[in-house]
Structure 1
Amino acid sequence: MLTTETLPRHELIGLRVQVVESCDPTLLGCEGDIVMETMHTLTISEGSRARQVPKGVVTFEFALPDGDYVTVDGERLIARPARRTERTRGSQWQ
């Protein structure tokens, strides 16, 4: 189940996200659905265009399906997506 505590261990593709802090001012306010994830970036769909955002220099705010919002430092998400979901105890796959 996707909760505020378990978000970094889950699949992020399909979640709504907004960049709330960044050392690059052009990334602030970037908002949309996550359509792709790599080790160091999230690709966010903003309407008809997609924007690649580096994880390490931003803070994200994710909208969970239950209506809650979670703020996560992008540094916590840097890892290969498959490894990140296995990394923390409590995963059903460990």
Structure 2
Amino acid sequence: MDPRTLPRHELAGLRVEVVDSPNADLVGVSGTVVDETTNTLVVGTGDGPKQVPKAAATFRFHVDGERVIVDGERLVARPARRTETTATSKWR
């Protein structure tokens, strides 16, 4: 999995950290992705769940010992639509 292919995968359960955002309160939010909507990731943190807008953040995912940085704009889509691997999806 790399920055090019990560958006096609299920994000729930992955460790994540917000590394950049115009909203300084979001930078540093880290934990495990517990839920995902079209426009947000819900990150389970030590202080409870935090809802982070995808389009307003750059994320660092921890996958198999590697760190993968993804611009949140690339994640904005319904999770089921984003992860499809058939037909002519722009996510393939």
**What TM-score comes out, normalization by structure 2 length?**
0.89
Secondary structure at the counterpart of residue 7 of structure 2: helix
- In structure 2, what is the equivalent of residue 79 of structure 1? 77
- In structure 2, what is the equivalent of residue 55 of structure 1? 54
- The CA deviation string for residues 22-77 of structure 1, in whole angstroms up to 9 with x for no partner, is 0000000000000000000000000250000000010000000x201100000000
Aligned length: 86
Give the drift of 1:6: 1.7
Instruction: Output aligned runs, 1:1-94, within 5 Å.
Output: 3-4=1-2, 5-64=4-63, 66-86=64-84, 87=89, 88-89=91-92
Segments of 5+ residues of structure 2 without an aligned counterpart are none
In structure 2, relative to structure 1, the CA distance for the partners of 1:22 and 1:32 (3 Å cut) is same
**What TM-score comes out, normalization by structure 1 length?**
0.88
Instruction: State how far apart, in whole Å, the 1-side matches of 2:50 and 2:32 are.
Output: 10
Identity among equivalent positions (%) equals 56
- The CA deviation string for residues 10-33 of structure 1, in whole angstroms up to 9 with x for no partner, is 000000000000000000000000
Q: CA RMSD in A?
A: 0.9
